Amino acid sequence: RNNITDALQRAVEQCQSGDVLFLHYSGHGGRLPDDNGDEDDGYDETLIPVDFERAGQIRDDDLYRLFVVPMREGVHVTCLMDCCHSGTVMDLPYRFVADGDNVRMERDGGFNFDGLLGL
């Protein structure tokens, strides 16, 4: 867990406006009951590190707080999350859909800025 969160924080610290960052995670993903009321479906999506039984899972709220919010303006970030329940694991107000019939960006109409701004 710490290796993942430390790497995210280092990326945030090192990236400058104009940089391009590709973030790739391949591993286990999951869901836990929402702990702060910001999820329409009642669940936080998670990354499950190898030491999750001791250190815990990494919630989408953690990713938003550690990586999305502090990222400098002007940094172009592409994230590829190869895990279960990854569609909204970055807690963004939009998502990329490629379901075999469609390829598009769509806004998440239920996105709750108020819940995330309080992090």
Q: What residues are annotated to the active site?
A: 28, 84
CB-CB neighbours of 93 under 10 Å:
12
Pairing of strands 103-107, 94-98: antiparallel
- Provide the CB-side half-sphere exposure for 119 (13 A, CA): 21
Burial 18-29 (b: 16+ CB within 10 A, else e): eeeeeeebeeeb
